[in-house]
Amino acid sequence: MTETTAFPPPGEPEGTDEQTAAVLPFPLKKTTDAAAPAGGEVKPGEWEAQLPDSDDPEADGLSEGAPVDPPREAYPPSVSEWMEAKDKARMPVLPDWVKLPDQRKAVRKWAVRHYSTVIGYHAVRLPVVYTPKIVMYSPRGAWRWSAAIGRWVFDAEGKSLRLAAVEAEDAAEYLKLSRQRNDRVRLRGIVATLAGFVGLAAALTLYVMAPSWLLLLSVATLTTTLGLAGAPADRPLIDRAKVTFRKRKLSSDIVIRAHEVAGLTSKDQTIAFPRPIGRDGDGWRVIVDLPYGKTFEDAVKARGRLASGMDIAPTQLFLDKDETSGRRVSYWIADRDPLAVPAGRTPLLGATRVDFWKPFPWGVDERGNPVMATMLWLSLLVGAVPRQGKTFSARTIALAAALDPYVRLIVFDGKASPDWRAFTKVAHRIGFGIVPRNGFDPVEHLVNALMELKADVEDRYHRLSELPLHICPEGKLTPEISRDKKLNMPLTLVVVDEVQEYLQHPIYGKTILDLLVYLARVAPAVGVSVMNSTQKPDDTACPSVLRDQHQARFSLRVGSWQVSDVVLGAGSYSEGLDASRLLKSHKGVGLLKGMSDDAGIVRTYLADGRDADRILTRARALREDEGTLSGDAAGETTAARSADAILDDVAAVLGRKEDKVWSETVVDRLAELNPETYGAWAELEGRAKADQLSNALKPYGIKTNQVWGTTESGKGANRRGIERQHIIDAITERNKKRADK
């Protein structure tokens, strides 16, 4: 399959000249039937994601009924089954590297590179190293030759036997050996003399009659032969072309040696090769069957020793699981550390717009195959130590979202770095840092934005299930619904960079945590995706209750495999995913898990500050054209409601003498007081109404208790409600904290 990309490469991409690849490392595939439009324009339908068939969280739990057609229990298999099994097991007539254009190209490239290097290596050395050496060693070669001929003519090899006969005073034996020697010397002397005459005659003829090139060639040949004969045994005339490539030319012996030193073989069992070692892109592909009882996990643990046994850097060795057997391991051994090679600038620079419903280019894998990302129906956690490219990699995703004018962006940066500033051009809600400035508290703004979003998400669930079937056939958000301005349910991307700064906020930390947990868990299903990034993924800074809600994880370099497991999820290390193996030089490189069925390495494309600014300027123009600029970017001022304004609101709707009021009554009164904020709550039925209030007040430690009251008919009833004193206590506490701050 030949890839075409709808994102033309930007000005001078580094290392992105290859636009062809046969295998995508993640099953996020492009439609092959859609022709890529010219000019870098992305049209809907161009990228296609393999998404789960169902998003119904309850679908997993469904028990299967009896199959309509029970499986056939016939044995032996039918002829067609037998043929199908044979078909699967049959090896192709031609190997992949002959059949597949991209592999053929890789082999051709390798052969050209290899042999041109070897030839060039020797060509450079011929005049300056080899020729002087030949001339220097040839007299010694001539001496060695003539000495050898002399020994042969005078039968030197029999000398020791003749001396032994003399020493043993064995006259008969000595006479026999002497006679034989005399005969030999006579014959060999004649041969040598004749050969000498022939040689001399030939030399004279050449000298007198032959053209000078032939004479030169003959002299060169003779000198080279003598030079070779005269070269010391420890210093061969011709050097080995010690190009780095040759070091990595893998043979089965090297692979076996590596497994032996790594302790992956036993005395009576070594490894087997189910397929020959072959080239795969810019590296070698080796598939190995470990001895029975050894597993992929053992190979992962022995990775360092395996690399040492193969005489390569650990960063060049990649291990893949093979689903067909627990003992089968597929190695990819890169010619050089592929992760230190930057992926190049983002193709988004050349794209006029993006369809965020489709996967978009985020980077390349270790073999240079494009990696497409999607944020649909998922939340993403990005973790890394500082300065590894956490912000840049998250920002490339947000930039793709910005280029889809129908995607609403909510961006908060806990560190107030310059990296996200340019998003003010497009973001619906945006804030930087945690310190209030000019009367604006970014943390309160975040809480309000998240509460607003929470209400929106709840509202979306209701509205989607109420939409007519012809608009919403499956009760799910569709591209059409998300782009219908009247329905107001756009795809939304929430980005919280350095989320730990907000989570550790003394007043709002807990509220933000609860809201993010809710959104990361519940919101993706209605088109609201959350992307949190942190340099402190530990339990104190970013509790597991939040981390665990992210379906997708991206870890750039971290300090240890334990931290890598914290970011990528427990058990990732045993699957061969360990982000602590990445080096400092691997900027923008990380391990991605959960975005598709496969996990793997992504070398993210780079969009620096200037690139981001260019893209966002274009994104704003797009939004202005489409009329989708909203919120902060459009200059719409939101009433600066503080996050805990609900406390004041509830206090306001409680009568002076009302110590205890039913939750439903409070919600109805709140809706009257502020229909914009609480109107949707009042429309909820039964328990949901009371639950809504309970959840909203929970962050402030207020519980709804059973409260006695009188119904309209005058009868007494016991329902959930709130106590006035609890609200007063919470407000007092809040004011005290504010004063302390």
Ligand X SMILES: Nc1ncnc2c1ncn2[C@@H]1O[C@H](COP(=O)(O)OP(=O)(O)OP(=O)(O)O)[C@@H](O)[C@H]1O
Contacting positions for ligand X (CB under 6 A): 342, 384, 386-392, 417, 535, 587-588, 604, 606
Instruction: Compute the least distance from the CB of residue 95 to ligand X, in Å.
Output: 35
Task: Give the DSSP H/E element, type plus range, for residue 722.
Answer: strand 716-723
User: What is the layout of strands, in order, in the sheet containing 283-289?
Assistant: 278-279, 283-289, 328-334, 317-321
Least distance from ligand X to the Cβ atom of residue 563, Å: 14
Residue 90 counted as an annotated binding residue: no
339 phi and psi, to 5 degrees? Answer: -80, -15
Report in angstroms how near the CB of residue 606 gets to ligand X at its nearest: 4
Nearer to ligand X by Cβ, of 303 and 536: the residue is 536
Q: Does residue 573 contact residue 561 with C-beta atoms inside 8 Å?
A: yes
Smaller CB separation from ligand X, 393 or 628: 393
Nearer to ligand X, 417 or 711 (CB): 417
- At its nearest, how many Å lie between ligand X and the CB of residue 462? 38
Q: Please tell me whether 133 is known to bind a ligand.
A: no
Q: Is 341 annotated as a binding residue?
A: no
CB of 352 to ligand X, least distance (A): 22
Q: How far is CA 205 from CA 200, 201, 202, 372, 398, in A?
A: 8, 6, 5, 74, 83
Q: Report, in Å, the least distance between residue 584 CB and ligand X.
A: 10
Neighbours of 694 (CB within 10 A): 16
Q: Is the CA virtual torsion 141, 143, 148, 153 positive or negative?
A: positive
Question: Are 109 and 97 in contact, with CB atoms under 8 Å apart?
Answer: no
Residue among 370, 330, 378 nearest 346 (CA): 370
H runs (alpha helix) in 504-543: 509-522
Question: From residue 249, how far is each of 28, 275, 282, 319, 334 by CA, in Å?
Answer: 33, 17, 12, 18, 11
The CA R_g of the chain, rounded to the nearest whole Å, is 39
Cβ closer to ligand X: 483 or 536?
536
- Residue 599 tokens read as 């996990």
User: Is 390 part of any known ligand binding site?
Assistant: yes
- To the nearest whole angstrom, how small is the minimum distance from the Cβ of residue 374 to ligand X? 19
Q: Which is nearer to ligand X, 588 or 721 (CB)?
A: 588
Of the pair 109, 387, the CB lying nearest ligand X is at 387
Quick one: 606 or 671, whose CB is closer to ligand X? Answer: 606
Which strand ranges, in their side-by-side order, compose the sheet holding 600-604?
A: 370-373, 360-364, 600-604, 589-593, 552-555, 380-383, 528-534, 492-497, 408-413, 429-432
Which residue number, 132 or 559, has a Cβ lying nearer to ligand X? 559
- Contact assessment for residue 5 and residue 347, using Cβ atoms and an 8 Å cutoff: yes
Q: Which residue is nearest to ligand X (CB)?
A: 588
Taking the complex as a whole, the smallest distance from the CB of residue 261 to ligand X amounts, in Å, to 35
Kindly report the three-state secondary structure assignment for every residue of 100-161. Answer: CHHHHHHHHHHHHHHHHHHHHHHHHHHHHHHHHHHHHHHHHHHHHHHHHHHHHHCCHHHHHH
Q: Which is nearer to ligand X, 491 or 582 (CB)?
A: 582
Minimum CB–partner distance for residue 567 and ligand X (Å): 13
Residue 180 counted as an annotated binding residue: no
Let me know: does 403 contact 615? Beta carbons within 8 Å: yes
Q: What is the DSSP string of 242-265?
A: --HHHHT---HHHHHHHHHHTT-S
Give the H/E segment covering residue 716: strand 716-723
Task: Please check whether residue 546 is in contact with residue 474, taking contact to mean a CB–CB distance below 8 angstroms.
Answer: no
Nearer to ligand X, 367 or 390 (CB): 390
Quickly tell me which residue has 């360990």 as its tokens.
578
Residues near 1 by beta carbon (within 8 Å), at least 6 away in sequence: 22, 32
Residue (174 or 420) nearer to ligand X, CB: 420
Which whole-number Å values give the CA distances from 575 to 176, 593, 598, in the listed order? 78, 11, 11
Q: State the nearest-atom distance from the C-beta of 559 to ligand X, in Å.
A: 13
CB of 87 to ligand X, least distance (A): 43
Give the Å distances, CA to CA, from 593 to 57, 284, 604.
20, 25, 14
**Is 384 annotated in some ligand binding site?**
yes
Q: How far apart are CA 87 and CA 205, in angstroms?
A: 69
707: β partners: 719
Cβ 273 to ligand X shortest distance, Å:
37
645 is in an annotated binding site: no
Tell me how far CA of residue 266 lies from CA of 241, 291, 702, in angstroms: 36, 7, 65
Within 10 Å of residue 344's Cβ, how many Cβ atoms? 19
The residues with which 485 forms a beta bridge, in sequence order, are: none
Residue 566 or residue 666: which is nearer to ligand X going by CB? 566
Say if residue 389 carries a ligand binding annotation. Answer: yes
**Binding-site residues from annotation for ATP:** 384-391
Bind-site residues: 384-391
